[in-house]
Amino acid sequence: MGRDGKKGIGGMADPRRYGIERVAYWLMRLSGLGLLAYFVAHIYETSNILRGRVGWDEILQMTQTIEGHIILALVIGMCVFHTVNGIRVMLGHGGVWVGRPARPDYPYNPASQNYRHKIGIYSAIILAAVAMMYGLAVLFGE
Amino acid sequence: MAMAQEEISAHISPARTILLRISRYNPEHDGASTFAEFTVPYEKWTTVLDAILEVKKHLDHSVAVRYSCRQATCGSCGMMINGRPRLACFTKISELDSETITVEPMNNFPVIRDLAVKFDRLFDAHRSIKPYLVREDSETDTGKEFLQSPGEVEQYIQFANCIKCGLCNAACPTMATDSTFVGPQALAQAYRYVADSRDKGKDSRLRVIDDSHGIWRCHFAGSCSQVCPKGVDPAMGIQLLRGYMLGFR
């Protein structure tokens, strides 16, 4: 923590203490960075087609390992979570499903953290897990 | 007589004690913060602020803490309590369900000393969004009250509950990394005035927050709303305002 009191990346990335919404925020960043890394690696991988069939087959062999399959399954999970949660967040940014202003009553449960958004988050997590399991079944079932 | 009663009540041996860990830090001569530990008696109604004042009164008077009303109205005693921003006067020790309570200065605020933090950035951001009705006439000029229907009042009254305690800014993940972000407190207040049917200053107010470090930097983590002690729900106000700016509302 600096003299200005900012908690920095550690404070931003800490998913604890603020409920599932903060976990979703953390997973969104993590999956976004993961997909960015995959995007760069994917461009590198596909650019090997310029080396001809032999070069292409060589680089493709890298994904035909246990580690390669696990990474691809993680990419599938990150992609599904980022997409589904991204739609939820975009709807929220447009003011959709964030509740309506009203006089607050104790214990002040925030209307913006309502069940629709919670269902959206859990759906994103469950769909990502199912897609990963399907991906693993396909990859290891070859 | 009142003083004598207060002293007696403070020394009645209670059934339970907690370990209170208070962050100690003076930026003028300390390199890093340390924790001072105190064993403090408590009853089921004892608040964290009561416990800190007990320490100041009987154990270490040098602990720096800001407080005033003791009833969650002034917004002075915001601090990190067991890692989460809360008002010390509004947090009972018994509800924390912990044998150890750690109190630290609020995240994302510069520390003056120990638990007291500077509010300059919060107040500057608050002032920047013009937290008042902007219009050319006034009730005193026209001699007429600016009437509103109950429905029009409902649109903003929730956001008028803000006590500027700063807990939302302390919980915000964007505030943790962005030194120029306006922050959830000011953004929610921008919505409060934009949603007020008496206000005519939408354009000038929206110009302030329509910035890469303004409303577009909020990522709807919602932590601000979860820690607000007055039910303001800044996340809702920010998303409604963004929806308005994007033309969805």
Q: Do A17 and B248 touch (CB under 8 A)?
A: no
pLDDT of residue B10 exceeding 60: no
pLDDT of residue A13 exceeding 90: no
Binning pLDDT at 50, 70 and 90, where does residue A9 land?
Answer: confident
From residue B227, how far is each of A132, B34, B141, B235 by CA, in Å? 34, 25, 41, 11
Write out chain A residues lying below 8 Å of B177, CB-based. Answer: 6, 8-9, 11-12
Mean pLDDT score of chain B, rounded to an integer?
92
Digit-coded pLDDT (tens) for B44-75: 999 999 999 999 999 999 999 999 999 999 99
Mean pLDDT score of chain A, rounded to an integer?
92
Write out chain A residues lying below 8 Å of B84, CB-based. Answer: 17-18
* pLDDT in the model for residue A14: 83
Closest partner residue to A5 (CB to CB) among B111, B219, B240 is B111
B39: part of which helix (H) or strand (E)?
strand B34-42
Closest partner residue to B235 (CB to CB) among A12, A105, A112 is A112
Digit-coded pLDDT (tens) for A60-104: 888 889 999 999 999 999 999 999 999 999 999 999 999 999 999
Residue A102 in contact with partner chain B when CB distance is under 8 A: yes
The C-alpha atoms of residue B214 and residue B182 are separated, in whole angstroms, by 5
Query: Which tokens in the block code for residue A135?
Result: 């991906």
C-beta of residue B218 within 8 angstroms of C-beta of residue B184: yes
The C-alpha atoms of residue A115 and residue B74 are separated, in whole angstroms, by 32
Closest CA to B170 of B86, B94, B100: B86
Closest CA to B84 of B102, B65, B61, B59: B102
* pLDDT in the model for residue B14: 55
CATH code: domain B120-246 is: 1.10.1060.10
Write out chain B residues lying below 8 Å of A116, CB-based. Answer: none
From residue A81, how far is each of A77, A122, A139, B8, B144 by CA, in Å? 6, 10, 20, 59, 55
Out of 1.10.3720.10, 3.10.20.30, 3.30.1490.190, 3.90.1170.20, the CATH code matching B2-117 is: 3.10.20.30
Q: Do A18 and B222 touch (CB under 8 A)?
A: yes
* pLDDT in the model for residue A44: 92
* pLDDT in the model for residue A10: 85
For residue B73, the one-letter residue type is T
A12: part of which helix (H) or strand (E)?
helix A8-13
* pLDDT in the model for residue B113: 96
Write out chain B residues lying below 8 Å of A101, CB-based. Answer: 154-159, 195, 236-237, 240
Digit-coded pLDDT (tens) for B90-128: 999 999 999 999 999 999 999 999 999 999 999 999 999
Which of A17, A27, A97, A114 to mutate: most B Cβ within 10 Å? A17
Sign, Cα dihedral of A73, A74, A75, A80: positive
HSE, side-chain direction, 13 A CA sphere, residue B49 = 20
pLDDT of residue A141 exceeding 90: no
Residue A141 in contact with partner chain B when CB distance is under 8 A: no
Q: Do A113 and B230 touch (CB under 8 A)?
A: no
* pLDDT in the model for residue A59: 87
Binning pLDDT at 50, 70 and 90, where does residue B2 land?
Answer: very low
How high is the ipTM of this complex?
Answer: 0.89
The C-alpha atoms of residue B89 and residue A31 are separated, in whole angstroms, by 39
Q: Do A22 and B173 touch (CB under 8 A)?
A: yes
The C-alpha atoms of residue B130 and residue B122 are separated, in whole angstroms, by 13
Q: Do B156 and A101 touch (CB under 8 A)?
A: yes
- The winner for highest mean pLDDT among A60-69, A102-111, B229-238 is B229-238
From residue B77, how far is each of A7, A142, B117, B165, B241 by CA, in Å? 20, 61, 10, 8, 29
Task: Walk across the sheet containing B34-42 and list its strands.
Answer: B34-42, B16-24, B100-104, B78-81, B84-87
Query: Which tokens in the block code for residue A74?
Result: 């993680």
Digit-coded pLDDT (tens) for B148-165: 999 999 999 999 999 999
Q: Where are the domains of chain B?
A: 2-117, 120-246
- Beta strand segments in B65-125, E: 78-81, 84-87, 100-104, 111-113, 116-117
Closest CA to A12 of B112, B170, B182, B80: B170
* pLDDT in the model for residue A5: 79
pLDDT of residue B1 exceeding 70: no
* pLDDT in the model for residue B248: 81
pTM: 0.90
Residue of chain B with shortest Cα separation from A103:
B158
Binning pLDDT at 50, 70 and 90, where does residue A1 land?
Answer: low
Digit-coded pLDDT (tens) for B212-229: 999 999 999 999 999 999
Which of A14, A21, A93 to mutate: most B Cβ within 10 Å? A93
Binning pLDDT at 50, 70 and 90, where does residue B137 land?
Answer: confident
HSE, side-chain direction, 13 A CA sphere, residue A102 = 11
